[in-house]
Amino acid sequence: MAGIPERTAESDPSLRTPTALCLGGIAIGVAEFLPVGLLPDIARAMRITIPQAGYLLSAYATGVVVGAPLLVALGLKYPPQRVLIAFMALFGACNALFALAHSYRLLVLSRFLSGLPHGAFFGLGAVVAARLAPRGQQAGAVAVMFAGLTVANVLLVPAGTYVGHHASWRLPFAIVSILSFLTAWAISKQIPSLSVVPERRVAVTLQEVIQPRFWPLIGISAIGTGGLYAWISYIAPLVTEVTGLAHSEVAVVMILAGVGMAIGNWAGGRLADRFHALNVVCTVLFAMLACTLLVSGFAHHKVATLVLTVVTGAVAFAIIAPLQMLMLSAAPGAKMMASALMQSTANVGNALGAYLGGLGIAYGYGFASPEIIGAGLVAVGLACALMLKMRSSQAAGLAPVGAQS
């Protein structure tokens, strides 16, 4: 209603931690990463190979790539709260379909459909979280939403892996569906009915965010993040077939990965609020390159593998908040589309990592080969980040006296 000020974190402290958005992150995080721990179980139950099961991850990522810009474009004219509710309702329905699917083709289709609202939810949710947050705490607010992913990986993905391994792999996905509908209800209760922020027409905003100045950012997101997904997608067969852990211990490995992701997500948000986001991204990519190579080199050593699982998870998730803030600051007139594009391109990395990592296994290079492939993807992302860094330094050097902060 006109004349009534919107609720903000200053006027309503409960919005400083948007738990409804965090709950959505939990539901999405469980659905995204649960097949990682259950990959052997799904392959065995459906009588398919490990690489074929891995392609379910690529199907999901492809859905995110397609859905993020498409669904955000469709929702630009509607209040963000209603759009977020619709996204979670769709997510719940598609995960229910996945839990009920009894053919490989329907599994692939339902995973693709499940991915459609993923990036759109995070893309719009990041804008809403930053919009509600106090000035100077936007990256931290975005990290709170993405903390749902880390909570999922610390608690629910390992629990779902255990349940799926000992009961049925379908049961955890049915629970995800229920959690998604609960999230839609929570959003309706907590997130205020924010006004629609006018953005330019979809064609114009898309044209803005695919300008050449965005290409290095897109390269970091679409290729560099592939190192994470090449690692995490095949971590179950890596630790069971190479490291020598029992299948029942995969849940413990997923807990360690989740703990690392939680630490990294928190640290990335704090660092991006204190330091230039580009500097944080460059540092994280250097660390990720080292981690992927170390994971491959020490895969036969149990203690080293477990330690590196925590460290690699932390490094991988530390890039989320600073990279999101870089994209938002680069497109001030098209924040929702830029945020959605970041989610879309990040899942190109997801699809690339899962697909290329699976090829390494399929062609007989072993279960540690995805890490080498992942290191190559990270190296490309690092080159893009250094290109941005160089461009930024050149622009600062050409700025007139008094223009630099």
Tell me: the pLDDT tens digits for 355-374?
898 889 888 888 889 999 99
Q: Give the domain CATH number at 330.
A: 1.20.1250.20
Q: Give 380's Cβ-side CA count (13 Å radius).
A: 19
Count CB neighbours of 193 within 10 A. Answer: 12
pLDDT of residue 12: 52
**Residue at 4 is within a domain:** no
Please give the tally of structural domains in the chain: 1
pLDDT of residue 249: 85
pLDDT of residue 312: 94
Tokens of 49: 């190979």
**Residue at 203 is within a domain:** yes
**Residue at 399 is within a domain:** no
**Residue at 364 is within a domain:** yes
Count CB neighbours of 400 within 10 A. Answer: 6
Whose structure tokens read 């629970």? 175
pLDDT of residue 340: 73
Rg over alpha carbons for the chain, rounded to the nearest Å, is 20
**Residue at 151 is within a domain:** yes
User: What is the Cα–Cα distance from 3 to 141, expressed in whole angstroms?
Assistant: 27
**Residue at 194 is within a domain:** yes
**Residue at 237 is within a domain:** yes
User: What is the Cα–Cα distance from 149 to 222, expressed in whole angstroms?
Assistant: 19
CB 128 within 8 A of CB 77: no
- Global pTM? 0.69
pLDDT of residue 348: 82
pLDDT of residue 331: 66
**Residue at 398 is within a domain:** no
| Closest CA relative to residue 377, chosen from 258, 169, 219, 240 | 219
pLDDT tens digits for range 315-364 = 988 988 888 778 777 666 666 677 777 777 877 887 788 889 888 988 88
Tokens of 221: 């997101």
pLDDT of residue 398: 42
- Domain limits at 267? 13-390
Write out residues in the chain with pLDDT < 50, as ranges: 1-5, 9-11, 13-15, 397-405
